[in-house]
Chain A
């Protein structure tokens, strides 16, 4: 832990915090400009298109839309930092509350999907690389290709048809069954976590049966990507000289592959996994639609379709924050995996 206290680390951390802050301001600027550039009049949404001109003008001043753009941006930034994204026209809730409600649903789905994708995708990729050109490689290739090319909504529908309608192994659309609606007191909003903490195992089981199919579908996509990347990183590492050294030492093939080669593959793989996780956290509209999953993707899309700009901007900023967070996390992990990273 000496490393964490060194001046070099402190300097690094400062630089990190600065770059995160700068990224965040950039993100706000872009979302703000998009919000002002789109040909949607926020005033019309607020007062309705039959409001008399005086009312229109009064609301314009009240909302501060008569001020210069840079001033508007400043006000906007200050409010966002305080967590105030305004009110959603569509749900008439405070946008932040909406986001805090829908994001845990996406978080739950994306996390389980990523866990599935990593725990299966990495071994798949390694086995494919070790057996390059032979049947396990071909099998992994076909599985991966299917993951890439089959549309997610189709896979979701077929999954529902088979595992829900025909076999009855999993539960249908939605996060929980009607009987368990509002059953668990929300703490984090992640139902699996909340129910487990409160010892509500029946609710946990119900939520899990709802979650496993959409998470499986998304996990399959993540698996397809992660296993392909693992395979190519692995093939590259297996050509390196230190692999020859490991073999010269008389180590078992398992140790050469899983300890020496995979240890080095983890370095680039962290970035790949982080990106894939980030993509899923952004919300996956198609999957959320098929499974009636009240997540971030569905929320942003619905808001966009009804020109609810406050909600759209709030959602966009949330996605941005998630990406910044994921990048930060992968940066930290990177330091643990690669001793060369300073």
Chain B
């Protein structure tokens, strides 16, 4: 691929849901571009961050409607791509780690089969080769007993193990871009860091692009190169992770101010005051 061109370009992305009574606009004109870097998207529930991720994979559930001036991945216009070609891109070139392994893994299929299946969907590998690949991936996500995990059903794994299996599954095909939709929100705090470290390692090793969707501003800042802050379906601020302190938008400032700090204990945390203007359309 062209070294200078970005991996993914998103311009004026909109996701709308026509319900019986009203038109819900979940994403309202989001634009960004991404190289082989780690981009964090932060926002509260309903800010449109997850729908942005799903729109890139063209997996917004009906009746959702996606429009964009430009949605280009490695020179491919994703808006104009047919469903069959889209299936070739999904899993093989763009993959996604979902939030909670309790729900995102098929409960009646062994973990190993699910990983091997992801690999076989795109590589012309026989059963044995796919199994080998799955075991390698389980080792890559630091499973101590890959053989046992391979034969296990999702309910037999802990949350952290489930999420590592999910990462193994999504990286088995060596995609160029990984979208991680709140990959650690459902996990225990102690396990979160471990899973993040594994994810970070693998993404860096393979030189992939990563879109890390989260509601945790500090986590994103420590983990990503760049951060987009979303509010009510729009990007209100985009900044380098290291410059989070210099955030200009009052929403980002408000979020940062609302966080407790271990070095400066306060009696009462600041409550974010919302300004209706934040949600307004761009001039």
Contact A340–B153 (Cβ < 8 Å): yes
**Which of B91, B107, B109, B155 meets A248, CB within 8 Å?**
B91
Closest to A340 in B: B155
Contact A260–B104 (Cβ < 8 Å): no
Among B2-10, B82-90, B227-235, which stretch is in contact with chain A?
A: B82-90
Contact A250–B106 (Cβ < 8 Å): no
Note all chain A residues with C-beta closer than 8 A to B91: 248-251
Interface residues as binary, A117-147 with B (CB distance below 8 Å gives 1, 0 otherwise) = 0000000000000000000000000000000
Residue among A263, A267, A338, A339 facing the most chain B CB atoms (10 A cut-off)? A339
B66 an interface residue at 8 Å Cβ cutoff? no
Contact B106–A264 (Cβ < 8 Å): yes
Report the separation of the CA atoms of residues A266 and B59 in the bound assembly, to the nearest whole angstrom. 25
A337 an interface residue at 8 Å Cβ cutoff? yes
Contact A242–B90 (Cβ < 8 Å): no
Contact B104–A339 (Cβ < 8 Å): no
Note all chain A residues with C-beta closer than 8 A to B117: 249, 251
* Given A339-B155, A340-B153; A248-B106 close (CB under 8 Å): no
Contact A245–B106 (Cβ < 8 Å): yes
Contacts of A254-291 to chain B: CB distance below 8 A:
260, 263-264, 266-267
Contact B107–A340 (Cβ < 8 Å): yes
Residue among B92, B98, B107, B155 facing the most chain A CB atoms (10 A cut-off)? B107
Closest to B62 in A: A132
Closest to B118 in A: A249
Note all chain B residues with C-beta closer than 8 A to A67: none
Contact B108–A241 (Cβ < 8 Å): no
**Which of A246, A247, A266, A337 meets B106, CB within 8 Å?**
A246
Smallest distance from the beta carbon of B134 to chain A beta carbons, Å?
Answer: 13
Residue among A242, A250, A263, A337 facing the most chain B CB atoms (10 A cut-off)? A250
Contact B169–A260 (Cβ < 8 Å): no
Contact B170–A248 (Cβ < 8 Å): yes
Smallest distance from the beta carbon of B10 to chain A beta carbons, Å?
Answer: 18
Q: How many A-B residue pairs have CB under 8 A?
A: 75
**Which of B88, B98, B109, B121 meets A244, CB within 8 Å?**
B98
Contact A245–B90 (Cβ < 8 Å): no
Interface residues as binary, B84-127 with A (CB distance below 8 Å gives 1, 0 otherwise) = 00011111100110111001111111000000011001100000
B255 an interface residue at 8 Å Cβ cutoff? no
Smallest distance from the beta carbon of B206 to chain A beta carbons, Å?
Answer: 18
Contact B104–A244 (Cβ < 8 Å): yes
Contact A250–B104 (Cβ < 8 Å): no
Note all chain B residues with C-beta closer than 8 A to A185: none
Contact A249–B121 (Cβ < 8 Å): yes
Closest to B122 in A: A250
A252 an interface residue at 8 Å Cβ cutoff? yes
Report the separation of the CA atoms of residues A276 and B52 in the bound assembly, to the nearest whole angstrom. 45
Contact B108–A338 (Cβ < 8 Å): yes
Contacts of A155-188 to chain B: CB distance below 8 A:
none
Contacts of A36-80 to chain B: CB distance below 8 A:
none
Smallest distance from the beta carbon of A73 to chain B beta carbons, Å?
Answer: 45
Contact count band on A: 20 to 34
Note all chain A residues with C-beta closer than 8 A to B90: 247-250
A82 an interface residue at 8 Å Cβ cutoff? no
Note all chain B residues with C-beta closer than 8 A to A240: 103
Contact B121–A250 (Cβ < 8 Å): yes
Note all chain A residues with C-beta closer than 8 A to B196: none
Smallest distance from the beta carbon of B73 to chain A beta carbons, Å?
Answer: 14
**Which of B57, B87, B166 meets A252, CB within 8 Å?**
B87
Contact A264–B107 (Cβ < 8 Å): yes
Closest to A133 in B: B62
Note all chain B residues with C-beta closer than 8 A to A267: 108
Closest to A339 in B: B153
Contact A242–B87 (Cβ < 8 Å): no
Note all chain B residues with C-beta closer than 8 A to A249: 90-91, 95, 117-118, 121, 169-170
Note all chain A residues with C-beta closer than 8 A to B57: 247-248
Report the separation of the CA atoms of residues A241 and B89 in the bound assembly, to the nearest whole angstrom. 20
**Which of A248, A251, A340 meets B59, CB within 8 Å?**
A248
Note all chain B residues with C-beta closer than 8 A to A247: 57, 59, 90
Residue among A240, A242, A337 facing the most chain B CB atoms (10 A cut-off)? A242
Report the separation of the CA atoms of residues A247 and B118 in the bound assembly, to the nearest whole angstrom. 10
Contact B89–A250 (Cβ < 8 Å): yes
Contact B88–A250 (Cβ < 8 Å): yes
Contacts of A303-342 to chain B: CB distance below 8 A:
337-340
Closest to B87 in A: A250
Smallest distance from the beta carbon of A339 to chain B beta carbons, Å?
Answer: 4
Smallest distance from the beta carbon of B273 to chain A beta carbons, Å?
Answer: 35
Smallest distance from the beta carbon of A256 to chain B beta carbons, Å?
Answer: 10
Contacts of B51-97 to chain A: CB distance below 8 A:
54, 57, 59, 87-92, 95-96
Listed by A's residue number, 29 A-B pairs whose Cβ atoms lie within 8 Å are A241-B100, A242-B103, A242-B105, A242-B107, A244-B59, A245-B104, A245-B106, A245-B169, A247-B57, A247-B59, A247-B90, A248-B59, A248-B90, A248-B91, A248-B96, A249-B95, A249-B118, A249-B121, A249-B170, A250-B88, A250-B91, A250-B121, A260-B109, A264-B107, A264-B108, A267-B108, A339-B108, A339-B155, A340-B107
A interface residue numbers (CB < 8 A to B): 240-242, 244-252, 260, 263-264, 266-267, 337-340
